[in-house]
Structure 1
Amino acid sequence: MAIIRAVSDLERVVGERPLPVMMKSIDHLDPHCLALLDHSPAAVLGYVDAKGRQRAELVGGTPGFAVAETSSRLRLPVPRSAAPGTGAALLVLVPGWRETLRINGTLAEDGLVVEEAFLHCGKAVLRSKLWGPASVLEDAVEEGAALGPAAAAFLAAAPFAVVTSRDGSGRADASPKGDPPGVARMIGPTTVALADRPGNRRTDTFHNVVERPEVAVLAVVPGDARTLEITGTAIVSTEAALRESMTERNRTPKAVLKVDIETVRLAPNSALRDSGLWDSANHVDPADLPRPSTVWTDHLKLNETAGAAAEQVRAGVNERLLRAGLDQDYQENL
């Protein structure tokens, strides 16, 4: 099985999505989400443009740029090319913090109608060393249908990327990916690949791609004020040679996202420049943020999934035990 084309085949390879993991999401913005949004100067927005293409853009500029007008409506900068009424997803970044907030919903002209919110584990940020020492590359720009020299050099230096996608019903997702530099591997001028690393075990991107292949990848390099956006179509590959070529820490990924490129755009991003993400002086003190284990505990209890199994999950969640296992998981399962 070199290409996975069905959800049943996907879950045989990467595993099913556990109920407790899926129950970490809620359908609104609670006080934890609001606190994280208050401290965030930037986020990656996955959206559909007026031509129907899947896109990804870093938006924001200052802390609190995304304003919750209600618990289900978020006002934020929307790209001019975006198509309101379509599925959109936001990956919220808090400088210096290892976790990320993911908010999914439907795009409005001035923001996002919230349908799902959850905290993503910090493994992608830890693997990428996203908040470590920053370096500055050249200021070259590039745009076209393939990776030219400038985009290839940027991609080779990028340790962090966000993949945006939608499922067959149009529900959107923005998933963080982190590795040592080269998180998105250039296979050729029109092909890149990203490995499936241990994370929150939702495997949203893979599930989406099986149903709808259009994706956008946004890559960043710490210290650089440019972003690299790649759009195209993807497959989930289990090709042995490809998987083995992407082995890290003596662990070979079970599957790889392989993207055939349609467009490439390497350009300065004003929101990234203004946000000061790479300035360590802007890193937020974790003591000023909600504790991740508390967020997950509270979100599990707020989740309204029906059934006896879900009731057992809500009744059994223990913040102290969850917190105790969190650092060990990050150390052992990067």
Structure 2
Amino acid sequence: MGIIRAVPDLERVVGERPLPVMMKSIDHLDPHCRVLLAHSPAAALGYVDAEGRQRAGMVGGASGFAKAETETRLKFPVPADAAPGTGAALLVLVPGWRETLRINGTLDEDGLLVEEAFLHCGKAVIRSNLWGPGRASADGVEEGELLGPAAAAFLAAAPFAVITSRDSAGRADASPKGDPPGAARMIGPTTVVLADRPGNRRTDTFHNIVERPDVAVVALVPGDTRTLEITGKAVISTEPGLRESMTERNRTPKAVLKVEVETVRLGQCAAVREAGLWDAARHVDPADLPRSSTIWTDHLRLNETAGEAAKLVRAGVDEQQLRAGLEQDYRQNL
């Protein structure tokens, strides 16, 4: 059936995690993270609810909604049904900017105890044209155990989604997925698939799913103030027909995430509405932010991974070379 169930099999298909890629993360909120947070009006949050279920939703409403009280504590409005003391992950959006900031840690009553922060590459945002013109918001809502007409229509129109997951130790992750509309595709009333596209090569979601299949997905449609949350159990499929059906830009994904749906929630989202994510007048000028290549360079140097190989990575990083390689990667590997 082509289902991957072990890490060695996964890495044979999608590749191992390169050391320089893993070293782009730090264990605190540095000044770069603080600048991005100050410009962000919204983020996708992956969390565990009081009943122990994996959940995903949007939080925020105004720029700077998440405030770094210290280097390791981030304060923001936490969903009322969230379970403190459990793993949680934020994917921080800066409207008009192609990269995203990922912050992972442990949830408390009014924020997150930070354990990891890193910048995610902009390919998902670019592929989805997330900050392009939006359509008018619709009013249909839906809740249940399968994808009804309104949820199916929303999913088909959605170019961007965030999938949240946890590993066996409860460490959380929130990873962006972007494509032309249909980033997450319905192949039945209780089945949704997402392709593995080129990204930052950490493959956190896939590694988590090998250990724990529970996932939650939140999907966005530019201009629409609703969100669609899907929760369920996921597997990683290499079935040729399924992979070929998700070919994009003449590239067939190496693996596909297949989610068996347990709950569906489509409804208005105050955080998205108040954040004005698709109001071009509120988009950030990238010139007001640090270069992504500068952030990655500084984070590589701040990373404290031990060993001679890590020392060589820190010593060898060059911001100008990284910037040139990044632009070439964005041009050639979307």
TM-score category (smaller protein): over 0.9
Is it true that 1:248 corresponds to 2:248 in the alignment?
A: yes
Is it true that 1:322 corresponds to 2:298 in the alignment?
A: no
Deviates most, 133-142 or 102-111: 133-142
Partner of 1:67: 67
CA distance, structure 2, for counterparts of residue 177 and residue 168 of structure 1: 23
Partner of 2:139: 139
CA distance, structure 2, for counterparts of residue 224 and residue 330 of structure 1: 27
CA distance, structure 2, for counterparts of residue 131 and residue 271 of structure 1: 17
Partner of 1:278: 278
Is it true that 1:20 corresponds to 2:20 in the alignment?
A: yes
Cα root mean square deviation, aligned:
0.6
Describe the superposition over 1:168-189 as per-residue Cα deviations: whole angstroms up to 9, x where unpaired.
1100000000000000010100
Partner of 2:161: 161
1:138, distance to aligned residue in structure 2 (A) = 2.5
CA distance, structure 1, for counterparts of residue 69 and residue 96 of structure 2: 26
CA distance, structure 2, for counterparts of residue 76 and residue 190 of structure 1: 33
CA distance, structure 2, for counterparts of residue 325 and residue 137 of structure 1: 38
Structure 2: state its 5+ residue gaps: none
The residue type paired with residue 14 of structure 1 is V
Describe the superposition over 1:255-296 as per-residue Cα deviations: whole angstroms up to 9, x where unpaired.
000000000000000010000001011110011101000000
1:241, distance to aligned residue in structure 2 (A) = 0.4
CA distance, structure 1, for counterparts of residue 111 and residue 57 of structure 2: 14
Partner of 2:127: 127
Is it true that 1:194 corresponds to 2:194 in the alignment?
A: yes
CA distance, structure 1, for counterparts of residue 154 and residue 96 of structure 2: 22
Within 5 Å, give how 1:1-334 maps onto structure 2.
Answer: 2-334=2-334
Describe the superposition over 1:9-67 as per-residue Cα deviations: whole angstroms up to 9, x where unpaired.
00000000000000000000000000000000000010000011000010000000001
Describe the superposition over 1:286-326 as per-residue Cα deviations: whole angstroms up to 9, x where unpaired.
11101000000000000000000000000000001001111
Q: What secondary structure, in the 3-state scheme, does the structure 1 residue paired with 2:8 have?
A: helix
TM-score by length of 1: 0.99
The residue type paired with residue 270 of structure 2 is S
Q: What secondary structure, in the 3-state scheme, does the structure 2 residue paired with 1:181 have?
A: coil
The residue type paired with residue 333 of structure 1 is N
Describe the superposition over 1:102-125 as per-residue Cα deviations: whole angstroms up to 9, x where unpaired.
000000000000000000000000
Q: What secondary structure, in the 3-state scheme, does the structure 1 residue paired with 2:313 have?
A: helix
- Given that residues 124 and 160 in structure 2 are in contact (C-alpha distance below 8 angstroms), is that contact kept between their aligned partners in structure 1? yes
Q: What secondary structure, in the 3-state scheme, does the structure 2 residue paired with 1:202 have?
A: coil
TM-score by length of 2: 0.99
Runs of 4+ in 1 over 3 A off after TM superposition: none
CA distance, structure 2, for counterparts of residue 48 and residue 290 of structure 1: 33
1:137, distance to aligned residue in structure 2 (A) = 4.6
How many residue pairs end up in the alignment?
334
CA distance, structure 2, for counterparts of residue 113 and residue 72 of structure 1: 6
CA distance, structure 1, for counterparts of residue 127 and residue 136 of structure 2: 20
The residue type paired with residue 81 of structure 1 is D
CA distance, structure 1, for counterparts of residue 262 and residue 39 of structure 2: 35
CA distance, structure 1, for counterparts of residue 250 and residue 68 of structure 2: 43
Q: What secondary structure, in the 3-state scheme, does the structure 2 residue paired with 1:127 have?
A: helix
